[in-house]
Amino acid sequence: MRKLVFPLVLLASAFVQPLTARADAIDDFVLTGNGLDITFSLPASPPGNEMTCPPFSPSCLPGSETAFYLSTLVTTNGVTSVESLAFPTFRFNGGLSLGSNPGRLFGPQLFLPDAANPTFLTGTFDLDAFPPKGGVVDYTLTITPETTAPTPEPSTLALFGTGIVGLIEFARTRKRRV
């Protein structure tokens, strides 16, 4: 019975690892308008803007009230490049800012609760651009959760623990043979 304890623990840890693993949800973004078809993907709850203000600074706004920023691969009409994106809060007219083309798009705030801890809203949103030559250009942004489930990644501690248990069992087996 004693010889079965370590192999059973090793086997149990191998089956438990996927249960303790976590995977981030991904949202897909599709922006259309003005002859552009733009797609990109971002985590559903990306890291936010946790900038704080120094004490007694009335002209400073904390990051949670302004915007948060990300860089990702963006495909525009079939051409992929790395772009910087900004997602302003409602206080700064919401929407998003995406490179120089289409640039700053105004609309609803695309995340909740604030820019320090954002989680994207899903659905279809109407956004407007105000080009320098005047007029308004309409865009439509659709945010949908990715349909394929993300692959869970086991925690480092679970992998390390399984390795240690395996090494102990290997050493015990080798010691018994000698």
pLDDT digits (tens, 9 = 90+) for 63-120: 678 888 899 999 999 999 999 999 998 888 899 999 877 888 999 999 998 888 899 9
Domain boundaries, position 137: 26-145
Q: Are residues 77 and 45 in the same domain?
A: yes
Q: What is the pLDDT of residue 5?
A: 65
Q: Are residues 59 and 138 in the same domain?
A: yes
Q: Are residues 52 and 114 in the same domain?
A: yes
Q: Are residues 139 and 158 in the same domain?
A: no
Number of domains within the chain: 2
Contacts of 80 (CB under 8 A, 6+ apart): 73, 74
Q: Do the beta carbons of residue 66 and residue 92 sit within 8 Å?
A: yes
Q: Are residues 74 and 158 in the same domain?
A: no
Q: With a threshold of 0.75, does the pTM exceed it?
A: no
Rg (CA), the chain: 24
Please work out, in degrees rounded to the nearest 5, the angle formed at the alpha carbon of residue 28 by the alpha carbons of 51 and 86: 30
Q: Are residues 83 and 125 in the same domain?
A: yes
Q: Are residues 16 and 36 in the same domain?
A: no
Q: What is the pLDDT of residue 121?
A: 93
Q: Are residues 157 and 106 in the same domain?
A: no
Q: Are residues 106 and 123 in the same domain?
A: yes
Q: Are residues 7 and 33 in the same domain?
A: no
Q: Are residues 15 and 94 in the same domain?
A: no
**C-alpha to C-alpha distance for 83 and 68, rounded to whole angstroms:** 14
The pLDDT tens digits for 20-67 are 555 567 889 999 998 999 999 999 888 877 777 777 777 777 767 888
